[in-house]
Structure 1
């Protein structure tokens, strides 16, 4: 090994001792094309110019494309390029195998392989790096879509996130690159990176993002329990007939933020509210039933959210909403509405029920009844019903059926409201005393 390459290895070790990755780019090729009259060696490394300058005080800025900086030592010029640190890139894109300097030397020798005509040199990541100008009215990858995606497969998820948030279509060739690479996106992109993109989707646009995830087949690998809902049908309305549970879920996600905008966690709960139907589905007597799907769904949702690395407190909240989302669908009594109002996050449960009705074009009879009773829940329970009903009043007073029994009942309720009567014993004594004034 010649001295310049020994020096290059020493430089790489110095970088690595400081906690960064570094390597000599394609040592074999560089040794073959090294010009002894002009010694130049290219190194790929992780740190930027500032961090590299702290390790090598003699580092100088460079105007060359993609070059972080240059260092001259022992008669050799060392160029530093960025190395690929993206966890979501294809394995073959991890190593830079050729640089612009090496290309110039190969061209001068007349031995430039066609495969090296368009080298990829990693650079520091930017939010919209890899995308063409959005002014064209769609989302498209720059250059050859499949090759651009290979450099960072998270761009596939990011493209769908941007498309959902800005309501823009994905350019057909870029879309096909995503569909073709669906399995590789799931293979190489960490779940944490996928969820980081997902969390940047606005609640109002999440239904579009989930639809894109399903259409691209990414949802099938990431959350197969949710994708499987596309194979289950339930009754929308007797007039409209059946629909898939996934179609209903996506429509609910569209409707939920109409009343509670920006509620990201509530929209996620709406996404999972029917996931239990996958496990509860039973076909009997010509129709589908999904008994206890809300409780089953909460258990399944907890498993999914842990797999997606949600925070424990968010897992508890979302599972709570899934478990109780059916409570407001039934016509509740006074006691039932009070039990409902005692639940945490009950306003979100109301909006989940409203979104469900909107998604089905359903009937609001039970919903409106419960909303009226919800107002009554502000009234103390003792102000709604007397401690003794009509039959009990007649039993304790000896009165016969008649209008005066109703008068005593109303008087007892007023006595409860004012605090004059607070127990069953006091109520019995009160009606006995009041009955003595009954007309004979």
Structure 2
């Protein structure tokens, strides 16, 4: 081993002792390029940023060439420091830099041609739009050769879907097919927490589109197979018309409507996404119709399993599972007792909006919803603070009843009728007790 390479290895060891990875780029190729060269120049790949390199080697200067982090000249040797790949989501073969722009230039000078595999050297970067063409062009497109760009960081596949959803842009055809072809590798190499970091950057009102793209690219089938399977499960969208729809399509449509009232509620929108998962496990076909008994309770349990798998925080899991478990509560036409019980639930405003979004997605009447909203206002008044329009003496006078327990029963029934809104005046109260007596 020549002295320049020994010195380069010594530099790498110094960097590694300070806690950063470093190595000589493609040592064999550099040896061939150095044979007969007038200048000795070596390229090093290193994890450390410029300020850290400068602390270790005070004589370094900032690099001015493409991709060069720092430049060090000692005696007659020039060392160029390039950033190494630190992406968790890159293909294993892309994790080691085998060529740099400087080596590419030296190869062209010495050999007169450039091997195809080295035609487009990759220099790692950390910018959000690294690996993409300018988004201002109106299309989401990988820079360079889409398949090669994606191999360097498979997280770019998820990021492309995020850009398309958030900016309402189409995805370039070659970029799209590169993502579809790499679906299994995206799931293999991208950590679940990294996928969720991208997902959390999707606006709530655009999440339906992001999930739709995950489904179309087949990524959702590996990430949340329980959800993707809902595309093969049908239910009645509207009982009045008998129209059928896949549960997955209904879920997407409901997600579109939920942020109309709560536009920044990411977790509420995610709860809508998971709200119908229980139908996959509770579906039964009988008398030419599908039933999904207990699907909310079952769905909450399955949602907990999914969110644990996707590395959600415990408190976020509890929130979403609570919403999934109770999201059907507000759909039925509730009594006063039912409304008061609903009102006692945590996060009941979100549950109301989940019900509203479901009604919109189904295209059905708001009869039960409006009824519950009206009664919800009455729930603000405690039952013990409501007095009946008629006391015991007035009830006996109106009905000609004699004193006894039946007068107290009639008074309680009148109070219930008032709470439910069936009786709103003294005249209606007199008519109610007279009719109830008969």
Query: Above 0.5 in TM-score?
Result: yes
C-alpha deviation, 1:389, in angstroms = 11
Residues 226-375 of structure 1: pairs in structure 2 closer than 5 A? 226-238=227-239, 239=241, 241-375=243-377
In 1: Cα distance, 2:56 partner to 2:206 partner: 46
Gaps of 5+ in 1: 418-440
Q: Which residue of structure 2 aligns with residue 429 of structure 1?
A: none
User: Is structure 2 residue 391 aligned with structure 1 residue 378?
Assistant: no
Q: Which residue of structure 2 aligns with residue 166 of structure 1?
A: 167
C-alpha deviation, 1:120, in angstroms = 2.3
Q: Which residue of structure 1 aligns with residue 431 of structure 2?
A: none
Residues 187-198 of structure 1: pairs in structure 2 closer than 5 A? 187-198=188-199
In 2: Cα distance, 1:98 partner to 1:55 partner: 25
Moved over 4 A (4+): 383-386
Q: Which moved more, 1:120-129 or 1:47-56?
A: 120-129
Q: Which residue of structure 1 aligns with residue 15 of structure 2?
A: 15
In 2: Cα distance, 1:389 partner to 1:27 partner: 99
Q: What whole-Å deviation, never above 9, does each CA across 1:236-279 have from its counterpart, x for those lacking one?
A: 01315110000000001000011111111100101101100010
Q: Which residue of structure 1 aligns with residue 122 of structure 2?
A: 121
8 A contact 1:248–1:359 mirrored in 2: yes
C-alpha deviation, 1:36, in angstroms = 5.1
Q: Which residue of structure 2 aligns with residue 93 of structure 1?
A: 94
**TM-score, normalised to structure 1's length?**
0.87
In 2: Cα distance, 1:181 partner to 1:385 partner: 69
In 2: Cα distance, 1:175 partner to 1:319 partner: 33
**TM-score, normalised to structure 2's length?**
0.88
In 2: Cα distance, 1:306 partner to 1:312 partner: 8
In 1: Cα distance, 2:285 partner to 2:139 partner: 44
Name the SS of the counterpart of 2:236 in structure 1.
strand
Q: What whole-Å deviation, never above 9, does each CA across 1:367-425 have from its counterpart, x for those lacking one?
A: 11111111111122135576x999xx88xx99369xx969x849x96xxx9xxxxxxxx
C-alpha deviation, 1:366, in angstroms = 1.3
Q: Which residue of structure 2 aligns with residue 3 of structure 1?
A: 3
Q: What whole-Å deviation, never above 9, does each CA across 1:152-204 have from its counterpart, x for those lacking one?
A: 11111111111111111111111111111111111111111111110000001
Name the SS of the counterpart of 2:61 in structure 1.
coil
Cα RMSD after superposing both structures = 2.6
C-alpha deviation, 1:113, in angstroms = 4.5
In 1: Cα distance, 2:68 partner to 2:33 partner: 19
Q: Which residue of structure 2 aligns with residue 180 of structure 1?
A: 181
Q: Which residue of structure 1 aligns with residue 218 of structure 2?
A: 217
In 2: Cα distance, 1:106 partner to 1:171 partner: 34
**Count of residues in Structure 1 that have an aligned counterpart in Structure 2:** 407
C-alpha deviation, 1:121, in angstroms = 3.1
